[in-house]
Structure 1
């Protein structure tokens, strides 16, 4: 049901008549409208401050075009949009029905049969959304509507235009409703690209909320809820049977361990739990190829390389402490743009809390070096310059300034200095060869596939892809200066190693063998 327009509000937007208000949030106001044929529509008018941002308009246009590819059988169909209007707006199918949040608030948790229907309906919608290459990014009960004929999911995909616009949302800010956010969105750096696995996590929270009337990580505050998402198992008391097993799977901390929307849907329809190994996610856009070879990439649904499980577990355990510390700092400083939840799972207030923009560098959000007994802690949190020392040959990685290849050097000069940019439990390795000047494009290390011979390390764009994400796994040993040593590993292409025969740095899988090269981190001061 719509509310009356406020005094002084416009009565037309483009070619649409505005009849009333349906709601308001951090991104804009939603109106009930009518087109020239008399059909009722829902119109989201973007907040005026976005109107003057060319970057936002471009992203908004792109995301609308993608959202139009989503089949409308379980979603509110995207009908029209005008990114160039002042202010921009989006028009979608008007669904005349209550949302899930209102139903649970007024009538209590759903009955088992109604709950199963909601779970199926949302999984069906996510299958269609993900199948079109779109990620929802803001799935929550308020975006799940009860319509004639079934469930409709609204507001899919468009959040990326807001989330990725650098003028308004930096890498040290988050957009969304905290109780439904996947843990990877809170991890150090906040620069990790959202994948479809985040929607699966939100599906699990929404279904648990529909079953119990509360979210499974509910706390008295947004920081408390976020901490529970990061560190605690979900509270699923009151949810039983196969659906509980599916929700537990969807709420896995590791996004790679969650099922796909299609796997969820199949399991819901046949009443079973999906078999292991069916996970797959929509990944960010691939890196472009460089001269002389192909930079490894990962596109939508790309298969993940076989990681060493013992190393991955060790890396995640080492990193969760850093994630919690960074989260507390960000939330305490007011650098997170969130909608909080009260303990019942309802959103507190209609608009997110925002903060003044800061520098877009992924590392600038953490300017205070933490006090810790481990000397590598600050380096691993991205607040310190580091040399990456090859322990076996007493040399350091360096990005050559001429051919953009990684070589072994004496550790002098900016070409040997890097900063580890946390991306969840893994890292981008950003080169400081440009000394951070404003006119220098940020450059990271990436894997380059050669037609002959093993892969090598080269300069690459600082975007998280299968080519540029590395894990640092503790070996348990120390180098000749008593510094902890690590294996550097890329999930798809293998271990970074020094090849004695080739006299160069390579990346290769080693099977059951022990990698020949270990690396230590040498502190070179604050950024």
Structure 2
């Protein structure tokens, strides 16, 4: 599992733990590798400050951590500790040093025979332990099944909503989970947004089908299409055969009452007529294509940013992102299922911007780009382009960068699809009090595509994500699910290009911009 260097705003110490590196980030927070006083390596999930500031979220976190402590650690990552009262609450769990199920399938292909049955039994065993402690996982998926010494361990159940925690803390329309593994009752009907043990059993069936075939049993080219298939179609189980296929079919029943409980599921799997000899999942050396990419919480993108007319059914994800779906597949036929799963995002640029690396120090007569060991600092009275890698990208992509501060009249600019030969570019401009998406072309040097909201950069740093899907750009801030800016990308000459860091504008006095931590991901 790849570990990334700590960024300037990342903690160095949490409680009695020394933070070693960043394992990954998601919508709820960041996950770090750390070491306790005895030298044991652990993983720490730190909740984002914007959630920690909400009293009801902190109360829910406290309740769910207490229940997570009661989950026996067989087939799960053991919960070792937590501090719900910290300024940013955190959860400490066992560090599982191994690839997840998605990575295993991508590297070595679908599982068969004893290896497949081992995964089925191991994940079912984890559900028995989780449900026995009064917890529902709510986001069981291949990325949350890790392999340690060939045995599967289920992670990320520590902030699942407790079974009997009907305390009103989850707002209407908020649903935690990944669409491809969501039970139909979470997408439509009176239980929408709720979670019972039956939703985890459904997710188990989808995970096992994925392990056997290398793709979801409800394939689709968008979250909307996937959700409609879950609601209206039977699963595609492909190469699954025999008793295991029959068990998976029962767990994927549309009616939750028709699914077995987790203990019943485990009993079925261990019955003599359905259980081939199990064995650990033996992982050969990773292929060059994937070497060094095993990391938790690989960012998923693109995001869905579409709404469809009146009368639609709406499903809300973890932080309230709405997915609009047609209620009748007869009137709106499903798109054809893809012949193969889409490629996972691949990180193609990663520079902490704390010293010369992919970006170099740059100066002109009025301004400069320099490093101080913590930030890339742009200083001066006029715009400047910082010298960076001239690697071009096309198609869907995602660029992340943190802006620590903007002091003065110059604005930070993140150019994407930039052409060094003069055709132009798209750009996110981050000024002291406002944001803008713009385009530049020879005939229109600066065209604002969308602008708005004050970001108040003087209060704290902000993490921006520019996400391109199907020639449509969305700008997200601080991990929130809703975009702060969106715009279509309609310039015919700007379908590819580089990513550049710059400052723009003019200032009567020296301005200072501080940035750090740029990442660029492509669709693979």
TM-score (norm 1): 0.53
* Rounded Cα–Cα distance in structure 1 between residues aligned with 2:151 and 2:315: 43
Q: Secondary structure at the match of 2:88?
A: coil
1:354 paired to 2:340: no
Q: Secondary structure at the match of 1:159?
A: coil
* Preserved contact between residue 175 and residue 336 of structure 1 (Cα < 8 Å): no
- Per-residue deviation at 1:148? 2.6
Runs of 4+ aligned residues of structure 1 deviating over 6 Å after TM superposition are: 163-167, 345-353
1:127 paired to 2:124: no
Q: Secondary structure at the match of 1:207?
A: helix
TM-score (norm 2): 0.53
* Rounded Cα–Cα distance in structure 2 between residues aligned with 1:129 and 1:345: 31
Q: Tell me the alpha carbon deviations over residues 472-513 of structure 1, each in whole angstroms, 9 at most, x when there is no partner.
A: xxxxxxxxxxxxxxxxxxxxxxxxxxxxxxxxxxxxxxxxxx
* Preserved contact between residue 185 and residue 192 of structure 2 (Cα < 8 Å): no
* Rounded Cα–Cα distance in structure 1 between residues aligned with 2:70 and 2:91: 15
Q: Tell me the alpha carbon deviations over residues 409-463 of structure 1, each in whole angstroms, 9 at most, x when there is no partner.
A: xxxxxxxxxxxxxxxxxxxxxxxxxxxxxxxxxxxxxxxxxxxxxxxxxxxxxxx
* Preserved contact between residue 188 and residue 327 of structure 1 (Cα < 8 Å): no
1:4 paired to 2:131: no
* Rounded Cα–Cα distance in structure 1 between residues aligned with 2:482 and 2:4: 30
* Rounded Cα–Cα distance in structure 2 between residues aligned with 1:190 and 1:128: 24
Distance 1:174 1:236, change over 3 A: same
Distance 1:12 1:165, change over 3 A: farther
* Rounded Cα–Cα distance in structure 1 between residues aligned with 2:256 and 2:266: 18
* Rounded Cα–Cα distance in structure 1 between residues aligned with 2:269 and 2:180: 24
Q: Tell me the alpha carbon deviations over residues 330-387 of structure 1, each in whole angstroms, 9 at most, x when there is no partner.
A: 79x95249xxx99627777899872499xxxxxxxxxxxxxxxxxxxxxxxxxxxxxx
* Rounded Cα–Cα distance in structure 2 between residues aligned with 1:197 and 1:220: 26
Corresponding residue for residue 415 of structure 1 = none
Greater share of helix: 1
Distance 1:215 1:114, change over 3 A: same
Q: How do residues 514-525 of structure 1 correspond to structure 2 at under 5 angstroms?
A: none
Unaligned runs of 5+ in 2: 276-309, 325-336, 346-397, 399-464, 466-475, 485-524
Does 1 or 2 have the higher relative contact order (CA < 8 Å, sep 6+)?
2
RMSD of Structure 2 on Structure 1 (CA):
3.3
- Per-residue deviation at 1:55? 1.0
Corresponding residue for residue 335 of structure 1 = 322
- Per-residue deviation at 1:173? 3.2
Q: How do residues 478-493 of structure 1 correspond to structure 2 at under 5 angstroms?
A: none
Greater share of strand: 2
Q: Secondary structure at the match of 2:161?
A: helix
Distance 1:97 1:255, change over 3 A: same
Distance 1:166 1:245, change over 3 A: same
Unaligned runs of 5+ in 1: 275-323, 358-527
Q: Secondary structure at the match of 1:22?
A: strand
* Rounded Cα–Cα distance in structure 1 between residues aligned with 2:481 and 2:237: 32
Distance 1:245 1:220, change over 3 A: same
* Rounded Cα–Cα distance in structure 1 between residues aligned with 2:117 and 2:144: 18
Corresponding residue for residue 22 of structure 1 = 23
- Per-residue deviation at 1:2? 3.1
* Rounded Cα–Cα distance in structure 2 between residues aligned with 1:356 and 1:7: 24
Corresponding residue for residue 90 of structure 1 = 91
